[in-house]
Amino acid sequence: MLCLRSESSPLWAEAALRDLDGFLIDHAHCEMKAASNALSLSARYPNEMDLVRALAELAGEELSHFRRVLEVMTERGLVLGSPPVDGYAAALRTASAGLKGKHLERWVLVDRLLIGAVIEARSCERFKLLLPHLPKVAPELTAFYEELFACEAKHFCTYVELAKLAAREFAGEVDGRLEMLAEFEAGILLQHAVPAARVHG
Ligand SMILES: [Fe+2]
Ligand SMILES: [Fe+2]
């Protein structure tokens, strides 16, 4: 799906639905991180106005997702708490360090954008896996996750487009780089033998 090179275990949806409260808490943290990552990227490249504008819009949407997950959590009496350890995104960043040209500032930006794309793609895949079960388990969440599925797919496209813009004359290399990152991501997921109630990992 999208750029992904592996499918999540069918047991993943079972794990998420078994601990829906835990999943919602992890999801809230993911949305918060998505917003802050987009803002921190725009702060790092303040002279690239196309990038800054696109990331500001994306951050606004992620913040709105965060607030809406918080509303759901409030209705269920849940507390956000400290973020769980996020080995997934860290492992992706570490894996990307092995890509060629990494010493060039341009590729640092391109790879950060592509990591964003891969993370969005995995969110989409996971939301899609949940969707058939939600009408039975938590019907009040079905429309919300349908909307998020579409929105995170749009974010995937935005990140890939931004990566191509950022790569400038090397835009033709971006698809191949995305494939390599997606391979790394598939390998990272293999290390999580027991599916957990988390959006990633
Ligand atoms: Fe989101
Ligand atoms: Fe997103």
Q: Is pLDDT at 174 greater than 90 in this prediction?
A: yes
pLDDT at 59: 98
Separation between Cα atoms, residue 73 and residue 26, nearest integer Å = 11
Give me ligand 2 centre to Cα 152, in Å: 4
Cβ–Cβ < 8 Å for 118, 178: yes
Separation between Cα atoms, residue 101 and residue 74, nearest integer Å = 46
Q: Is pLDDT at 190 greater than 90 in this prediction?
A: no
The whole-model pTM stands at 0.95
Give me ligand 1 centre to Cα 91, in Å: 20
| Per-residue pLDDT tens over the stretch 32-79 | 999 999 999 999 999 999 999 999 999 999 999 999 999 999 999 999
Separation between Cα atoms, residue 164 and residue 114, nearest integer Å = 9
Give me ligand 1 centre to Cα 156, in Å: 11
| Per-residue pLDDT tens over the stretch 101-110 | 766 788 999 9
More confident residue, 193 or 72: 72
Q: Is pLDDT at 100 greater than 80 in this prediction?
A: no
Maximum average pLDDT range among 121-125, 189-193, 195-199: 121-125
pLDDT at 103: 65
Ligand nearest to the CA of 32: 1
Ligand nearest to the CA of 148: 1
Please give the backbone phi and psi of residue 197, each rounded to the nearest 5 degrees, phi first: -80, 65
Mean pLDDT of all residues in the chain? 93
Ligand nearest to the CA of 155: 2
Separation between Cα atoms, residue 131 and residue 124, nearest integer Å = 11
Give me ligand 1 centre to Cα 6, in Å: 21
| Per-residue pLDDT tens over the stretch 12-38 | 999 999 999 999 999 999 999 999 999
pLDDT at 102: 67
Give me ligand 2 centre to Cα 120, in Å: 5
Separation between Cα atoms, residue 41 and residue 26, nearest integer Å = 22
Separation between Cα atoms, residue 27 and residue 200, nearest integer Å = 9
